[in-house]
Chain A
């Protein structure tokens, strides 16, 4: 609901949230991050001291064991980070038996960008937080990849040595897999999935927050691992390479635990959400395929991730504690590492793909305007891939020296898994066939995904065949295959998903042209980079080696050059995201005309997604079926229930006169608009004999500001006895709520006459109340959404200029700064100077006063210097959008002003554009 207006007497009771009391946490961003900082440091110090003390107590020698200390510092500072973020606060109170509020929603929802940078339990915010984290680490890991390509651009050593090169590609792979691909899907599904099934949030919102806050420590540990070195085992961390590693390996092993726990918590959360929180009518065969995909993936995570966690613990214990899991000399078994590792890590491939399949199913169906072909087949094949995925792990180990009898069965199961994957591909092709294909950005990525993923999938069938695998093992063929699957597969689906849901997440549309450039640059760059690697591998270039035979030189240089295209594409992607968030045009509810439930609510969705429990009445992909519906979204009871669609916006009357352009009122309206789907009518009661034109002018100003930020605003001036007039307006305009803006008690005539309470009684509509100080009400509008016009009047201000300014504002709303350059003669403290200055001040004062009374937002300034000095200073300090020169001025002067006025348009007040 989050509609608490500062100083409001009665909180506005929207239906949004279904009666949850919502009191936002008001601690500042600084408070949280300072807390995180000291908590991390304290954790690190504890990690430093603990092994020392324990070794001292148990009289171990030596007292310092570097790697044990590194592991403890990483573990405890990571936990400190999470604790500092506030994830545990509620639980600690609960655990200690203190009173807790089970309906505590104080961390739910976002009102400003700041709320995205601190603890939040709203699944929509958490989804965005996930994406923020993964975009950061996408840049990190992408930079590492470019460093790898720089090293490989030519034979011999370019920028690093063998050890450094090993660290680079290890860090690239580990961060891409653990911090980008896996959590990206968790983030996208976090945003979309609860809305898709008609739930208000995830089942365990606090666990959800914990999951995302565990990611940054994991990522920074791995990043530190790259910087500190001693991590050259590859992301698979095979022993004995990993047991011979150093600090970097230790940090990876602890970081992987954080990432692993994060995924397990999210997976449990998804499963419980999907099982228990589906809206009425959402049977399993009506679930969107993304929901199917995430249910399946979550099961994979729950049963697979513990294996990689354990494998990393075992490696770490072998290295820093002297155990013998993988030590032949004392009965350990090296191969057992690979078995345990791949038992997770092969299913992990599907963890990174299946949610992507879900996204593609949504996108392909929506942009082909056709029901998905073979809904049940795709759903079952998802489950089949997951089940089979647990039976193929040893195909990574054909040449490892494992039991030879395992080879053929693993080869067979691996080839078998191509069948359900093929079912999906043909399902999508069937959907496209004779569809009405719309090549919007998400669809481009989906089609790009299909073409590249088929290449990656087929080369996967190749390498499943035992003799082929033995031939291409540890060559660039494998590098090409993994990138066709992870980049051309997973990453493309992530981009498809980001573009698909970005309008819903931000409430704003992205730049389509930039998005298409991003796609084509990446698509061409991707294929130019990775396609030649197949050939390199087949002719024998080994992977994971920094130097190579000169005969591979040309192709490698080409690959390194081509990879830069992807960098450019990614930069465009981030520019686009930034512009969308900052200044994208307001997105409609359903820009892609999708059928699933997230498209049936506003963009961005209301605080608790649905104002009333929705009813699912049909399948999610019934495109082209006349009258078919997926779900009915209801309006809350307060507005009389009934169905809710985009055009229904309950009306909120904003009662304000002089204060209608003041910041507190505008902010209150913006916040209401952000949290719900309302329209607003600015109602100003005019007193008898008051200048109605001035009031209307002020209303237009406010309207223009609010419309810039996407609100739907109308205006109305009422006359006569205020209570009766407002009550009549409330009836005429079907007011849902009334928002009053008055001065404080004692200053306000309206309050003195008890207007607010009388209106409440007369209308019977919920009334809330913003109070402002006199200063706030009088302050001229200083809003970036309104264009800023500077009027310079070198020859003083007369009534003609005043009228011209008013006409300018009537033509298009703007805020005005009126400057009179007095050009006082030297000395500036002399009598003549004082007189000139005083005259100018009086003139400006009178003009400003008169224009304010006519409803303009204007302030005045007097400048000692000349016209040009004033223009220069204004351009520097205020950066106006427009400079108008009033009075007599020569062409040369105008040119000079134009020169110093930066980007502002310069013209004379009475016309004459330049």
Chain B
């Protein structure tokens, strides 16, 4: 949807509500994030129902090896990396607002690198965890929740890479006329916020 932002109709919006004056791409993304929240909510519902139905967590089943504790520290550091990437993106947009286009490009590249690092560390964690999605409900909800989030990080990275493409090759985005970029960035912040929630629920509690 980001792409159509420039084709917004030239209707005189003077005197209309703030909502009506929003950039369509940003508004569209905000609504779509409502959908995304519900996707995660559905998985969390399954998670909480499963957790409420077992006496201990991770659950114990006869004939199934007990689960090793999740790597809270490394994932905590990883969480910090992802959160930091939100700030680098914010910094990039701030540079754009100040008229510094190279600052925006630097911010985007930095964000992409941090996001990729997060993804690589997460995949590395999968490889070393020692249990699979098929290992009881615990493995199922753990992998599906973190995997769904990983997919969103990947999509977010693609979105930011596209924005970088536009900014570098076509010299697009000006302060106040960067609908697709803003839409992409609020998506990225959303992915971060979900991760914080997910980390607390799945790893810490």
Contact = CB atoms under 8 A, between A and B. Distances in A.
Interface of A: 18, 90-91, 94-100, 102-103, 199-201, 203-207, 264, 267-269, 271-272, 275-280, 302-307, 309-311, 314, 317, 321-325, 327, 329-333, 335-336, 339-340, 343, 613
Interface stretch (B26-34, B73-81, B96-104, B106-114): B26-34
A323 B1 contact: no
6 contacts: A103-B7, A268-B1, A268-B28, A310-B43, A317-B140, A332-B50
Nearest to B14: A280
B117 interface: no
Interface residues of B, number: 54
Interface stretch (B82-90, B118-126, B163-171, B188-196): B163-171
Contacts of A95: 162, 165
Given A268-B32, A309-B39, A321 B49 contact: no
Top-4 shortest CB links A-B: A97-B165, A331-B137, A97-B169, A310-B42
A331 B39 contact: no
A558 B66 CA distance: 61
A272 B24 contact: yes
Contact of A331 (B13, B61, B162): B61
Interface string B137-162: 11111011000000000000000001
A791 B34 CA distance: 72
A340 B137 contact: no
B40 to A, nearest CB: 8
A336 B49 contact: yes
Contacts of B136: 324, 330-331
Interface string B44-67: 011001100110000101001000
B71 interface: no
A332 B28 contact: no
Given A203-B24, A279-B11, A336-B49, A311 B42 contact: yes
Contact of A305 (B3, B35, B43, B134): B35
A602 to B, nearest CB: 20
A306 B31 contact: no
A332 B138 CA distance: 9
B166 A97 contact: yes
B130 interface: no
Contacts of A343: 42, 45
B191 to A, nearest CB: 16
B7 A102 contact: yes
Contacts of B22: 275-276
Contacts of B32: 264, 268, 302
A507 to B, nearest CB: 24
A206 B28 CA distance: 13
A329 B140 CA distance: 13
Nearest to A207: B1
B46 A323 contact: no
B35 A306 contact: yes
A339 B45 contact: yes
Contact of A96 (B27, B42, B165): B165
A268 B162 CA distance: 22
A322 B4 CA distance: 41
B3 A94 contact: yes
A229 B168 CA distance: 52
Summarize B's interface: helix, strand, loop or mixed.
Answer: helix
Contacts of B45: 336, 339-340, 343
A204 to B, nearest CB: 5
Interface string B173-194: 0000000000000000000000
B68 interface: no
Contacts of B61: 329-331
Nearest to A314: B46
B3 A272 contact: no
Given A204-B4, A330-B61, A94 B162 contact: yes
Summarize A's interface: helix, strand, loop or mixed.
Answer: helix
B19 interface: yes
A91 B165 CA distance: 12
Contact of B34 (A96, A206, A272, A302): A302
Contacts of A331: 50, 53-54, 59, 61, 136-138
Contacts of B140: 317, 323-325, 330, 332
Given A271-B31, A325-B137, 15 more contacts: A205-B7, A264-B35, A275-B27, A276-B24, A277-B9, A279-B11, A302-B34, A304-B38, A309-B39, A310-B43, A321-B134, A327-B137, A331-B61, A336-B46, A340-B45
Contacts of A102: 6-7
A771 to B, nearest CB: 34
Nearest to B32: A268
A269 B42 CA distance: 23
B137 A268 contact: no
A205 B162 CA distance: 20
A311 B144 CA distance: 12
A341 to B, nearest CB: 10
Contact of B137 (A90, A267, A276, A332): A332
A94 B173 CA distance: 13
B137 A324 contact: yes
A94 B137 contact: no
B61 to A, nearest CB: 6
A433 B140 CA distance: 59
A17 B167 CA distance: 30
Contacts of A269: 1, 28
A97 B7 CA distance: 18
A199 B28 contact: no
Nearest to B57: A331
A810 to B, nearest CB: 52
Nearest to B26: A272
Contacts of A206: 3-4
B20 interface: yes
B19 A276 contact: yes
B11 A280 contact: yes
A340 B59 contact: no
Nearest to A270: B31
A613 B12 contact: yes
Contact of B28 (A272, A303, A306, A322): A272
A182 B141 CA distance: 31
A100 B166 CA distance: 10
B184 to A, nearest CB: 11
Contacts of B31: 267-268, 271-272, 302
A641 B32 CA distance: 39
A305 B37 CA distance: 11
A309 B141 CA distance: 16
Most chain-B CB neighbours within 10 Å: which of A272, A314, A332?
Answer: A272
A330 B165 contact: no
Nearest to A280: B12
Nearest to A303: B38
A272 B9 contact: no
B169 A98 contact: yes
Nearest to B11: A613
A18 B7 CA distance: 13
A276 B8 contact: yes
A96 to B, nearest CB: 6
Contacts of A264: 32, 35
Contact of A97 (B12, B35, B46, B168): B168
A613 B42 CA distance: 43
